[in-house]
Structure 1
Amino acid sequence: MAGAADAATTLVGRVLAGRSGALANRLDLAGIRTKPQDFAFLIGVLAVAVLAATLLLGAGWLSVIAAAASPVVAMLFLNIRIARRRDAFATQLDGTLQLLASSLRAGYSTMQALGSVAQQSEEPSASELARIVNEARIGRPVVAALEEAADRMASEDFHWTAQAIAINREVGGSLAETLDGVAHTIRERGQIRRQVKTLSSEGRLSAVILMALPFGVAGFLMIINPAYLAPLFASGLGIAMLAGGAVLMVVGGIWLYKTVEIKF
């Protein structure tokens, strides 16, 4: 059994050859320590399991749709993990900078301070800072490593931190005081961001309700009167109407997302 799984994983790796880099990057951003071929193999197993389960339940052609949706669900899972990891990094950044400034005041060098904070921090800050330290130890400029970490975490605040360290290394001065100033600015931005999020929460809730309402109504009708919706699944016109409705739902979802999205 293990040999068959290994062979299947190897086959998936060959299929993904040349295209696994993007998936590996997504897995890295999500903090999932799994090879791309292993992850793709698991998605394939999930799709087969979903197909078998839905066929046993008599779902018919919907089984194929459910199985085909498995990779989409897996990518959605990755995107959610990445977003949560980035949000956690942004939340921890203020405390991270305070620890870094304290270490510098204690007499540590920049690299020593980064290493010390990496040991004291929680994930994902710990792994990101440790990665910066490791890259710097093998000869990469520390500012370049900081900028890349900011790109990975999609953190404009950490970009400011990297730029502050870069300027301090060129002109000198107290890096601890500079980081205190950056941390203060980040705290104020965080307060404003939370206020804006609170004010826009009603709009986001309305968007969720509007997107979920058609599925809720359809589910309710299928429970109390399945024959009422049967023509939609039994005729070409009905399927075309469902497809058109799905397209309109996607367009409406994008429009609602853009309406409640506030760039800060």
Structure 2
Amino acid sequence: MSGFEDLLTPEVTGIAVAVLVMLAVGGIIYSLFQPALSGTKRRDQRVQAVAARPQSETQRKQLRDTDRRKKNIQEQLKEFEERQRAKQDKQQKVSLKTRMEQAGLAWEMSHFIMFSAVSGVVFLILGFIASSNFLVIGGFGFAGAFGFPRWYVSFKRKRRFNAFLDELPNGVDIIVRGVKAGLPLADCIKVVAREAREPVATEFRKITETQIMGVTLSEAVSKLPDRVPVAEANFFAIVVAIQQKAGGGLAEALSNLSKVLRGRKAMKGKIKALSAEAKSSAGIIGALPFVVGGIMFVVAPDYISLLWTTSTGHLIMGGCLFWMFIGIMIMRSMINFDF
């Protein structure tokens, strides 16, 4: 025993422990990767795939048709994404004439110039009434000639887009009912052009007029987001184009689209209701300095008149208006939600 104990030196014991650990790790690795190395796992997967494969020719044909339709839809979506990026690049540089068309104004550039001139004259008169300072009068004239007309076009454009979004789900529902009744899509669009409210009726009437000129229905519908650049119009154009090229149930697709449009409308209303308190607070805070200034002008005109009769008052008013503008823009960015 003493000879055996002499062999169990610390070096031999360490080597033996290392060998045992290596054998244990090797056994664990072999047990984990043995199915993959031997091909058993690959064989089981192949057997499961063959078992899950449709056995009848009809099932295989339906599967091939489904795969083909999925590929077509993926290609269409990729094409629409590229087209949408190009449209977004164009929309960043929308011309004034296009903005007037989107606002529903049947104006030429000459009409806009005349409107700007009249607006500039009116604002100049208001400037003469408000102050005798030529800088103030010039500021009024500049705002009337260059600012107010463009603001008016943007206001009309936004209001028309909101009216379009309110009526579009009803128009889509009309198309769904017509398609379920057996009417062609083109006839359903004509019905919407006759029965829907403005501006949906006008936009769908343009689709039918474009189609009469020889343009295909999908191409005529694809021009709708150009005239009304909102996400909902783009959704409608995508659904119609995919159905025209890839097939499928149009009534079901448009019914789902109608649910999506109404869901977005409900979400917009909910966001508007939740942000109403913040907007009211911002309006009160923004109007408070002017209300207090008006009250002070009525109560103590000599005291408040120092703001516009002295150079120091002008600097104070300029600084206050600048910081008020910064605060209003910050509050506006906080209460405006994009979804």
Please say whether Structure 1 and Structure 2 have the same fold, judged by a TM-score greater than 0.5. yes
Find the aligned partners of 2:312 and 2:207 in 1 and give their Cα distance.
57
From the superposition, tell whether residues 49 and 178 of structure 1 become closer, same or farther in structure 2 (CA, over 3 Å): same
Question: Is 1:35–2:108 an aligned residue pair?
Answer: yes
Select the structure of larger CA radius of gyration. Answer: 2
Q: Could you tell me which residue of structure 2 aligns to residue 60 of structure 1? A: 132
Find the aligned partners of 1:133 and 1:234 in 2 and give their Cα distance.
63
Amino acid at match of 2:240: I
1:1-264 residue pairs with structure 2 within 5 A? 22-55=95-128, 57=129, 59-61=131-133, 62-70=136-144, 71-264=146-339
Find the aligned partners of 1:259 and 1:249 in 2 and give their Cα distance.
15
Find the aligned partners of 1:102 and 1:169 in 2 and give their Cα distance.
18
Q: Could you tell me which residue of structure 1 aligns to residue 27 of structure 2? A: none
From the superposition, tell whether residues 140 and 207 of structure 1 become closer, same or farther in structure 2 (CA, over 3 Å): farther
**Mapped contact 2:189–2:208 kept (Cα < 8 A):** yes
Query: Cα deviations across residues 164-199 of structure 1 (Å, max 9, x unaligned)?
Result: 111111221231221111101222232222222211
From the superposition, tell whether residues 147 and 108 of structure 1 become closer, same or farther in structure 2 (CA, over 3 Å): same
Look up the SS of the partner of 2:183 in the other structure. Answer: coil
**Mapped contact 1:43–1:74 kept (Cα < 8 A):** yes
Amino acid at match of 1:60: S
User: Aligned residues: percent identity?
Assistant: 24
Query: Cα deviations across residues 186-228 of structure 1 (Å, max 9, x unaligned)?
Result: 2223222222221121111111112222222222222332222
Find the aligned partners of 1:241 and 1:153 in 2 and give their Cα distance.
44
Runs ≥4 residues deviating over 4 A: none
Give the alignment's TM-score, normalised by structure 2: 0.66
Q: Which moved more, 1:40-49 or 1:101-110?
A: 101-110
From the superposition, tell whether residues 141 and 203 of structure 1 become closer, same or farther in structure 2 (CA, over 3 Å): farther
Find the aligned partners of 1:184 and 1:158 in 2 and give their Cα distance.
14
Query: Cα deviations across residues 107-162 of structure 1 (Å, max 9, x unaligned)?
Result: 33222221221111111111111122223333445434434423443321222111
Give the alignment's TM-score, normalised by structure 1: 0.83
**Mapped contact 1:100–1:117 kept (Cα < 8 A):** yes
From the superposition, tell whether residues 140 and 235 of structure 1 become closer, same or farther in structure 2 (CA, over 3 Å): farther
**Mapped contact 1:27–1:36 kept (Cα < 8 A):** no
From the superposition, tell whether residues 257 and 53 of structure 1 become closer, same or farther in structure 2 (CA, over 3 Å): closer
Q: Count residues with an aligned counterpart.
A: 243
Query: Cα deviations across residues 46-68 of structure 1 (Å, max 9, x unaligned)?
Result: 2213323542x362123332222
Find the aligned partners of 2:207 and 2:118 in 1 and give their Cα distance.
36
**Mapped contact 1:30–1:79 kept (Cα < 8 A):** yes
Q: Could you tell me which residue of structure 2 aligns to residue 10 of structure 1? A: none
Amino acid at match of 1:220: I
Q: Could you tell me which residue of structure 2 aligns to residue 18 of structure 1? A: none
Query: Cα deviations across residues 225-249 of structure 1 (Å, max 9, x unaligned)?
Result: 2222322222333223322222222
Unaligned runs of 5+ in 2: 1-93
Find the aligned partners of 1:221 and 1:148 in 2 and give their Cα distance.
56
From the superposition, tell whether residues 194 and 53 of structure 1 become closer, same or farther in structure 2 (CA, over 3 Å): closer
Q: Which moved more, 1:189-198 or 1:88-97?
A: 189-198
Alignment RMSD: 2.2
